[in-house]
Amino acid sequence: MKPQRIAILGGTGFIGSHLVPRLAAEGHAITLLSRNREQHRALRVLPSVRMASVNVYERAALARAFNGHAAVLNLVGILNETGRARFARAHVDLTASVIAACREAGVGRLLQMSSINAGSDASKYLKTRGEAEALVRNSGLDWTIFRPTIVYGRGDGLISRFHGLLKWFPVLPLARPHARIAPVHVGDVCTAIVRTLGGREGTARSYELYGPDVYTLIQIVRMIRDAAQLRRVVLPLPDALGWLQARACDFVPGKPFSSDNFKSLKLDAVGTQDGLAELGIAPQRFAVLLPGLLAAPARELRLDAARAGQRDAARHSYETPGRG
């Protein structure tokens, strides 16, 4: 793939922390837009990565930051509302500003991170994700939308969060225990993004990204418990008690769980159109990777991501992404 100049919003989050080293390893020139560049010094040492302090909600500032770039990747998303971080502002308003700034700066390519079940009225999170998707589809830009299920990997909010909770609590009450999930590995999500950057075959397309195995939430939590060799009880809650737990967590600092999360889990996080297969990507299996993810130290995250990018670049430099 020919190296490009790519502007990334939300690149310091979980997916971005895996993706940015990979893009850098493939020679892309990356501009990471952040309100406070000093908080993310680790990413600044990567080759061809530049941090820019920009208020991403100011369209004029965004347009200036986008100048000279071939593509914009919007990874911004929030799972819960806290303070000024509101779903409509983070998902819908920001996406509108990104689209307007792309037009002003003459950037024709936009890649947008969304979510499986986006557009459903089940929760504010899913509803606003869908509203943002509609803006992208009607933008007139060459767009690609990624709709992953729950993404796991080193430093995630799934394995890491439940592992931490299991270490602290001998009995873990679990809301929505029978929600069905096909977790997708962050490396596979990154590969999907990299491949659609390489040509026009991914434009005007939405890709559902999900793993090959479907579990219930309680199965996942018990797998984490067993892989970590913890003697803990995972207690499934009926919906009435699960809802009370979610409402109580609305007032807990950091919101480890929320009533909006509870509503989102009413829908199975299982896709119906295999975007990974369409892109010629063989998905990694949760059960196989889980022990290693629990054992490996988090400080190896960026090194592993950079190595993965180099391996994938070497393996696929001569390939055309396949169709499922």
Q: What tokens appear for 315 in the block?
A: 């393996």
pLDDT at 20: 94
pLDDT at 83: 84
pLDDT at 255: 86
Contact 255, 80 (CB under 8 A): yes
* Strands 180-181 and 215-216, sheet pairing: antiparallel
Residue ranges of the chain with pLDDT lower than 50?
Answer: 298-299, 301-324
Contacts 24+ apart (CB under 8 A), 103-107: 103/140, 103/141, 104/59, 104/63, 104/66, 105/62, 105/63, 105/64, 105/66, 105/67, 105/68, 105/69, 106/67, 107/7, 107/66, 107/69, 107/70, 107/71, 107/72, 107/141
- CA R_g for the chain: 19
pLDDT at 42: 59
| 165/185 Cα distance (integer angstroms) | 21
Fold adopted by 5-316: Rossmann fold (3.40.50)
pLDDT at 256: 86
Q: How many CB atoms lie within 10 A of CB 145?
A: 24
| 135/120 Cα distance (integer angstroms) | 16
At residue 227, the 3 state secondary structure works out as helix
Q: What is the pTM of this model?
A: 0.89
pLDDT at 69: 97
pLDDT at 86: 95
At residue 295, the 3 state secondary structure works out as helix
| Total count of residues recorded for the chain | 324
pLDDT at 322: 37
Task: List C-alpha distances in Å: 9 to 6, 60, 217, 307.
Answer: 10, 15, 30, 23
- The full set of domain ranges for the chain reads 5-316
